Amino acid sequence: MRSSMVTFPLLVTIACLCDIGDGRGAEVTKTHIDVNTVGNVSLTIAFDLVPDVDREESDRLNQNPSWTLQDDKGARLYEATGVSFSRKSIRFVVDKPSRELLEAMFDPNRNVHLELATAVTAVLENKSAFALQPDVAEALTRGMGAPTPRQRELIQKQRTGDYLMSKDVFDVAKEVDEADTTQAEYVASFRFVRPAFHNYPVLWRAEGRIGTHSENPLNYAEIALRAESPIKSSKAASGRGIVEASYLGDQRFLRTTFNASVGVEAIIPNLIDLTGQTGRLRPKPVITLGASYAVRPSEQELFGGEKTSWEWFAQADYYVPVATKWALSFSGKLRYTDNIEDGNKFRAWNAVSISYDLPLQDLELLAKWESGQHPLVTEQGQQLLIGFLLDRLPF
């Protein structure tokens, strides 16, 4: 990705003049947000000062002050401790901003602003000291956001793949079965992703679908280690190369396989806009193409008794925000395995869901349709589910 740093100008730049120390003044010349799009996305709220800052003395003086980002309703969108100093500014870093925080910052009506627990003091090179008071920090940052369409595009371009691959989800649902309500299945689906190593683009992922009917062909469990490498992007699309090792099994782990996969993940332009200009973040579709080599611990009749096989796969994921509270989600995967014995070497799975944000934070009402089959079974399955989705896990 060519662009590594862009700046969000505030709607209004406010100057703060203060008399400090030995009478020499200090001035906040500009308050702005820097956006880093290399690696993990981060936002930095910066207060530029004159004279220049003495970084070492300022770091020594400030011991991890607490601060939050809030909106006018008092919702705490981000909480952190610590402050950093550059030669020109006091800086508060928002690491891996959430979808909710970005959407709030994109909405000028939310008035997202910085709340300091205590004043933050910068020692200046002229040996005076400047204290950034909580009420001043709030006034300077109130109303920040409203980035330009180009700036929003840069964040969406970087976050789309991360959002879809690292979005924690946990949903619990009940099968809608009008024919026989006594046999309805209860299902729990989950996915969570965490960094495997600091400062390296390696993640570990656990995901699955388990239910009260353990033989459902849609149920599975998987754990994987994934490495990523960005691919040079065009104006319309971007992508990354992926290498992944995984262990996959059905719900009871009667059939299991080790997979080594390589592929390319492409982020393509958005197809539709259903947000109604509400300022919600619109992740782009992600298309993945790749191949994997499977090794099975035991012989399985489905694969003609062979313990290894090659598989080619294509996957598509698209999350579509609708108005202020709704969302549509589309996911699908098609696999081709070279030595399946049942005459159909293709295995397909797809899911379509609609969700609605509930007043409780991170909780959504969910309706989901799933159909297809697990790659290690021959049976087809399909279900309509109604339940709840928690889109951020607490660990």
Encode pLDDT of 184-229 as tens digits. 788 999 888 777 876 677 888 899 999 998 888 888 999 999 998 8
Q: How confident is the model at residue 13 (pLDDT cuts 50, 70, 90)?
A: very low
Query: Which CATH code fits 152-390?
Result: 2.40.160.40
Q: Where are the domains of the chain?
A: 5-147, 152-390
Looking at residues 80-94, what average pLDDT do you find? 90
Would you place residue 177 in the very low, low, confident or very high pLDDT band (cuts 50, 70, 90)? low
90-118 pLDDT per residue, tens:
999 988 777 678 777 777 778 889 999 99
pLDDT category at 155 given cuts 50, 70, 90 is low
pLDDT at 6: 34
Q: Which of 46-50, 58-62, 142-146, 230-234 has the lowest mean pLDDT?
A: 142-146
- Lowest average pLDDT, out of 70-84, 320-334, 380-394, goes to 380-394
- Predicted pLDDT of residue 129: 86
Worst-scoring range by mean pLDDT, 7-21, 93-107, 274-288, 346-360?
A: 7-21
Q: Which residue has the higher pLDDT, 177 or 85?
A: 85
Of 164-168, 367-371, 386-390, which range is least confident? 164-168
- Give whichever of 35-39, 304-308, 322-326, 361-365 has the largest mean pLDDT: 322-326
Secondary structure in 3-state letters for the chain: CCCCEEEEECCCCCCEEEECCCCCEEEEEEEEEEEECCCCCEEEEEEEEECCECHHHHHHHCCCCEEEEECCCCCEEEEEECCEECCCEEEEEEECCCHHHHHHHHCCCCCCEEEECCCEEEEECCCCEEEECHHHHHHHHCCCCCCCHHHHHHHHHHHHHHHHHHCCEEEEEEECCCCCHHHCCEEEEEEEEEECCCCCCEEEEEEEEEECCCCCCCCEEEEEEEEEEEECCCCCCEEEEEEEEEEEECCCCCCEEEEEEEEEEEECCCCCCECCCCCCCCCCCEEEEEEEEEECCCCCHHHCCCCEEEEEEEEEEEEEEECCCEEEEEEEEEEEECCCCCCCCEEEEEEEEEEEECCCCCEEEEEEEEEECCCCCCCCEEEEEEEEEECCCCC
Whether residue 10 has pLDDT greater than 70: no
**Max mean pLDDT range (168-172, 218-222, 238-242, 274-278):** 218-222
